[in-house]
């Protein structure tokens, strides 16, 4: 089975990330994040975001998202998110676990973007003692369906939430792909996002993500919170080093731009060389194809790993490591179905 397009998690580490990890392994360094590698990696993230934020590196995106949401909502409250968001569909209740009962309210919207009308309706719901009221909004950039929010779209979602006194979390597991598609990272803090998960794993790191707290008050006792959650690395430089390598070399951006380009090549080929239709616009590194079950099964039998997504379409994801040759081989297989 070929996993080239199964997920952007299936590729190995990008060379710049791996080299930085090797270099970080030389000699001795202070433990628990007090080392120079961690400080430099955090500075690189602050520079990209043009914001003076508090930053911690953790072992997974699920932990980063769940801990971030636990900062924004009490156990008797809930978080608004798209119904297909990772926090709703793929984290096994982790936000509720880390948040001691924090709930999730799923909202509709095409291509993983929250419908503003649905958001307003949820915010306008009367508060009663029998339901968890919304206390925060979780957004995903780029979305689970490969869509990239514009600054204006984000503003229309964030402003009414802020007017209600709620917090805002941004899941940036594929933030590099959004940036490569033209999204200005420096707008995140200015739009009112309180806490961001700055993606590393899907951008070519190992398993590491960064929690970025623009609201520094959220960082009060953050190290205690992370320690209790099993997210404190004694040799923290091994979490930060892949970020440092990707960011100092610009491989974080370059790899995402390549992944986006490969996705567009794949999408164009599907339209030109097959009878299948695209289920969603291709704006980042994911391609969703309307494909009958028999055709999907045959593609799997031919050795291509690809999966049916929540909306019934077949998802193909490109990464920093996707090659032109692999895209064209896949297109040959799809064209022959």
pLDDT (tens digit per residue) in 131-183: 999 999 999 999 999 999 999 999 999 999 999 999 999 999 999 999 999 99
In Å, how far are 16, 110, 291, 333 from 246, measured between CA atoms? 6, 32, 36, 33
Nearest CA-CA partner of 193 in 140, 118, 239 = 140
In Å, how far are 123, 262, 319 from 7, measured between CA atoms? 34, 13, 8
- Report the pLDDT value the prediction gives residue 170, as an integer from 0 to 100: 98
Per-residue pLDDT tens for 92-105? 999 999 999 999 99
Q: Is the pTM of this model over 0.85?
A: yes
In Å, how far are 78, 136, 159, 168, 326 from 164, measured between CA atoms? 14, 9, 9, 11, 48
Burial class (CB in 10 A: 0-12, 13-18, 19+), 124: exposed
- Report the pLDDT value the prediction gives residue 293, as an integer from 0 to 100: 97
DSSP state at residue 204: T
- Report the pLDDT value the prediction gives residue 36, as an integer from 0 to 100: 98
For residue 308, name the pLDDT band (cuts at 50, 70, 90). Answer: very high
- Report the pLDDT value the prediction gives residue 221, as an integer from 0 to 100: 94
- Report the pLDDT value the prediction gives residue 50, as an integer from 0 to 100: 98
- The mean per-residue pLDDT over the stretch 257-285 comes to 98
- Report the pLDDT value the prediction gives residue 110, as an integer from 0 to 100: 97
> Using omega within 30 degrees of 0 as the cis cutoff, is the peptide bond preceding 115 cis?
no
Name the residue with tokens 């995140």: 188
Nearest CA-CA partner of 173 in 8, 6, 3 = 8
For residue 220, name the pLDDT band (cuts at 50, 70, 90). Answer: very high
- Report the pLDDT value the prediction gives residue 96, as an integer from 0 to 100: 96
- Report the pLDDT value the prediction gives residue 79, as an integer from 0 to 100: 98
- Report the pLDDT value the prediction gives residue 183, as an integer from 0 to 100: 98
- Report the pLDDT value the prediction gives residue 269, as an integer from 0 to 100: 98
**321 Cα distance to chain centroid:** 18
What residues contact 290, with CB distance under 8 A and at least 6 apart?
276, 277, 278, 279, 312, 313, 314
Q: Is 137 helix (H, G, I), strand (E, B) or coil?
A: strand
Kind and range of the H or E element at 111?
none
Q: Indicate the average pLDDT of the chain.
A: 97
DSSP state at residue 2: B
- Report the pLDDT value the prediction gives residue 290, as an integer from 0 to 100: 98
Per-residue pLDDT tens for 26-45? 999 999 999 999 999 999 99
What residues contact 32, with CB distance under 8 A and at least 6 apart?
223, 232, 233, 234, 236
Spatial separation of the C-alpha atoms in residues 264 and 201, rounded to whole Å: 22
Spatial separation of the C-alpha atoms in residues 11 and 171, rounded to whole Å: 21
User: What sections of the chain are H helices per DSSP?
Assistant: 15-24, 36-49, 61-72, 86-89, 94-98, 116-124, 151-163, 175-180, 187-191, 222-228, 237-248, 251-273, 293-301, 324-335
- Report the pLDDT value the prediction gives residue 209, as an integer from 0 to 100: 98
Phi/psi for 213 (5° steps) reads: -105, 100
Share of the chain above pLDDT 70, in %: 100
- Report the pLDDT value the prediction gives residue 2, as an integer from 0 to 100: 95
Phi/psi for 30 (5° steps) reads: -65, 150
Per-residue pLDDT tens for 291-307? 999 999 999 999 999 99
For residue 195, name the pLDDT band (cuts at 50, 70, 90). Answer: very high
Query: Do the Cβ atoms of 113 and 149 come closer than 8 Å?
Result: yes
């Amino acid at each position: 089975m070929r996993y080239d397009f199964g997920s952007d998690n299936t590729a190995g580490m990008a060379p710049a990330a791996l080299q930085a990890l090797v270099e970080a392994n030389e000699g001795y360094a202070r433990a628990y994040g007090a080392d120079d590698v961690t400080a430099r990696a955090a500075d690189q993230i602050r520079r990209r975001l043009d914001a003076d934020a508090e930053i911690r590196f953790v072992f997974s995106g699920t932990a980063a998202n769940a801990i971030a949401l636990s900062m924004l909502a009490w156990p008797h409250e809930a978080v608004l998110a798209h119904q297909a968001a990772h926090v709703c569909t793929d984290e096994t209740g982790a936000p509720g676990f880390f948040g001691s009962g924090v709930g999730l309210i799923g909202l509709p919207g095409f291509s993983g973007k929250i419908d503003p009308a649905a958001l307003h309706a949820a915010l306008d719901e009367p508060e009663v003692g029998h339901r968890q009221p919304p206390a925060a909004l979780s957004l995903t950039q780029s979305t689970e369906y490969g869509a990239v929010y514009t600054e204006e779209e984000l503003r229309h979602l964030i402003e009414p939430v802020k007017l209600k006194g709620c917090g805002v979390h941004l899941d940036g597991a594929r933030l590099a792909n959004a940036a490569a598609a033209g999204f200005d990272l420096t707008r995140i803090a200015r739009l009112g996002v309180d806490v961001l998960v700055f993606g590393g794993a899907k951008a070519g790191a190992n398993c590491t993500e960064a929690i970025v707290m623009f609201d520094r008050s959220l960082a009060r006792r953050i190290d205690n919170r992370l320690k209790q959650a099993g997210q404190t690395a004694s040799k923290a430089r091994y979490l930060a080093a892949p970020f440092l390598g990707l960011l100092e070399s610009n491989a974080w951006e370059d790899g995402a731009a390549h992944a986006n380009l490969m996705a567009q090549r794949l999408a164009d080929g599907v339209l030109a060389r097959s009878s299948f239709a695209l289920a969603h616009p291709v704006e980042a590194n994911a391609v969703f194809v309307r494909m009958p079950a028999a055709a999907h099964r045959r593609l799997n039998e031919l050795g291509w790993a690809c999966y049916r997504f929540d909306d019934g379409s077949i998802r193909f994801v490109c990464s920093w490591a996707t090659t032109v040759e692999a895209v064209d081989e896949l297109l040959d297989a799809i064209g022959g179905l």
